[in-house]
Structure 1
Amino acid sequence: MRLFFDARYIRTDFHDGISRYSAELAAAVHEAAADRGVEVTYLIHDEAQRPLLPEGAQTLAMSAPTSWREPFAARLLNRFAPDVVFSPMQTLGSRGRRYRLILTLHDTIYYRHRTPPRDLPAPIRLGWRLFHLSYVPQRITLNAADVVATVSETSRRQFADVSLTKRPVVVIPNAPQRLAALLPGGRADVKTDGPVRNLVYMGSFMPYKNVETLVRAMRLLPGRTLHLLSRITPARRAELQALAGEGAVVFHNGVTDAAYAAALADRAVLASTSLDEGYGLPLAEALALGVPAVVTDMEIFHEVAGDGAVYVDPHDEKAVAAAVTSLDDDAVRAGVIAAGAAHIARFSWERSADALLDTVTTLARG
């Protein structure tokens, strides 16, 4: 049984969400495939992607997913006679295919917030906006597959709410990276004793992320520091700095994964007052590290964290401050951490790989 895994979304500079999902799932599939009787070939478009795949992985080079050739990708893939092709995105050309196809749509957030990733070429950004003006283009795209994959039960429900596809939808969950491995002493380096000293935010500064509430809350949390880890423009930084007043806010403007892990490990909580999320990977990563969280009370965060977070109204900085303060209590903090660790243990790349390979096997035999 031959599976082609589209690994062209793995970045060679730093991982974004799709890149990390692709790389971690690819590695887990590589480990499990042989025992399932599946031969895997990874599609790449850049030789620099090859070292980022598992050692010994079989690859096939083709054009980039942003190429004008993408709508005609099936013509190339047909020549190699795969049984099933899996893509971690939904844009792989399918016209004329002679194989089973799994396309992935991670979430529907870009229908609510249509700003495309800034690193895409201008024509693709324009096409992105036009594509998301209506559900019709997405329906046509997804219905060209045999199965649609997504990363959460929340997304699967949202697809059903708007009748996004006629195809079966399978959940191949996202999972946290192992941040503890990046600390010199592993989990032993995670300090959770005593009062919370740091709030850690990892994410963009787009309007719907609502970082403003976190910044305002710092005025009510003297003696504690908010660490904004992601890259930020000078203009946006100036806006938030002015909003902070006397609150302690540190702008890191991008950090390594090791620095991210170290920030979470230092008597911290993971904090987010986002108004909308497709998944919330930083939340999962914090829980897996044994760090509590204070986050918006919304469906996807409950799916990811269970009882491993304190949930707040994202517009209420007083509620955020009270939630952080509540975690100063040793018993409360220990209970939240234990609940989070138990809940997030259900998400692993090994289980996600099994879900994908189960789907591949069913399709190939069907």
Structure 2
Amino acid sequence: MIERTLFREEHRIFRETVRRFVEKEIVPFHAQWERDGIVPRELWLKAGAQGLLCCTVPEEYGGLGLDYLFDVIVFEELWRAGASGPGFLIHTDLVATYILSFGTEEQKRKWLPKMVSGEAIGSLGMTEPHAGSDLKAIRTRATRDGDDFIINGQKVFISNGQLCDILVLATKTDKDAGAKGITLFLVEGDREGFRRGRNLEKLGMHAQDTSELFFEDVRIPASNMLGEEGRGFAMMMTKLSQERLAQAVRSATVAEIIIEWTLEYTQQREAFGQTIFDFQNTQFKLAELKTQAMVGRVFTDKCIDLFMQGKLDPVDAAMAKMFTTELHCKAADECLQLFGGWGYMWEYPIARAYADARITKIAGGSIEVMKMIIARDMAESQRAR
């Protein structure tokens, strides 16, 4: 097996800590959280106390100042356990990153320590009912009123939407300026006029709260602006590679664990006088998936390395997301088949993994958008020759 050389001894020790936390504080309760449709706030405080949130935030803002691999380990251990409920990725990898990258000193000192501790839960408000991957088409408006802005509009499919205390919100401050009319704001969860709609019933990821959000004359001070007015779209574009890399990390991890579950099950389950694994079809299926998972893992780790060097470009990130999420869904489908009827039962982790998998080809930019990015780069490279 190819060794994951990115990780050092301190990463191995931290992974053991995370794995113990997941096994003790999450796995025994996750089924109930799926029925509830939400993870309790207490889990966030426990995770914060263990140093599992926002690992890369500098010490001056209450964090540990660790490298990105520590965040990766947290994400991998959650997904390896099938714990799709805790929305730590959105909180850590996106919201905290936006504030750290673009926030004022006051904004950083106000929010980052609370996000590290789990006292404040972060969410990202970008998607709207009529505008999915097309962020330029958002309609939520922020209108200047003296030293304030007044926000009206709505968002949908917002992870951590029911729990969030701080929201990075994409708005239009100039409806006629296209992408250059988009501005980001920090909106507190207790602002008057900010209303949480339904906790949406999804195909999978049942324990993660995913919401509609409504803004009715929400007044916020201009000091809540994140970055510069009209620079929101450009700021979002700088973070897409990181978001897509996180999706690749997730899918590479889940594909591996699904294959492990299936190998164990097929070696124990008997049919027609032999184990399911003894059938050549089973062996060929698992051998093919194992090989593809290894390719996906090596490529994803290479992209992590490039990201940590500041060299991950959008095309490589798109390729990683496309390959790993398609493999993720393929592995879930083909491995469930090898479980037979039991694979369709919710008590088996393969059933939940199958339901959870499908969103990966949509979230963070659909597979079709990834293919457009890759194809466009191919055409531009051809013209440049």
Give the TM-score taking structure 1 as reference length. Answer: 0.30
Bigger share in helix: 2
